[in-house]
């Protein structure tokens, strides 16, 4: 399962760091991804990172957000700088192509963490 943390209330221009840790009988996780969903909007991809370190970002966060991961700890981070009110959303982490110790594969969603950016 995934446990996300780090959300909160911040003023525009501020920073937050989200963390998401996977636990369980995990051998490896191919990709870890952050999504977000603002009120009344569809869930959208924010940033993703592969086991090899390749990253991709939504255009709206490029240059402001940085995704990183600790492969050994099965943890992904999202450093969010220069936050804007439009970044307000529930942020979800997603683990894709999780290889378990029993050699089965799975995918997991975290429970979400709320980020609120005030103007």
pLDDT in tens, the chain (119 residues): 899 999 999 999 999 999 999 999 998 999 999 999 999 999 999 999 999 999 999 999 999 999 999 999 999 999 999 999 999 999 999 999 999 999 999 999 999 999 999 99
Give, in degrees to the nearest 5, the angle at Cα 88 between 84 and 90: 145
* CB-facing half-sphere around the CA of 78: CA atoms within 13 A: 33
The length of the chain is 119
- C-alpha span between 11 and 80 (Å, rounded): 12
Write down the pLDDT at residue 82: 98
Write down the pLDDT at residue 65: 98
Write down the pLDDT at residue 96: 94
Question: What tokens appear for 37 in the block?
Answer: 């969903």
Write down the pLDDT at residue 27: 87
């Amino acid at each position: 399962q995934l446990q996300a943390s780090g959300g909160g209330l911040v003023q525009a221009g501020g920073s937050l760091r989200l963390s998401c840790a996977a636990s369980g009988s995990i051998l490896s996780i191919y990709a870890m991804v952050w999504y977000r969903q603002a009120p009344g909007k569809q869930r959208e991809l924010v940033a993703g990172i592969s086991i090899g370190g390749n990253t991709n970002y939504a255009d709206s966060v490029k240059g402001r957000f940085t995704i990183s991961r600790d492969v050994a700890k099965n943890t992904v981070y999202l450093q969010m700088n220069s936050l804007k009110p439009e970044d307000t959303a529930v942020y979800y982490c997603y683990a894709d192509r999780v290889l378990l110790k029993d050699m089965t594969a799975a995918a997991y969603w975290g429970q979400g963490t709320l980020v609120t950016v005030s103007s």
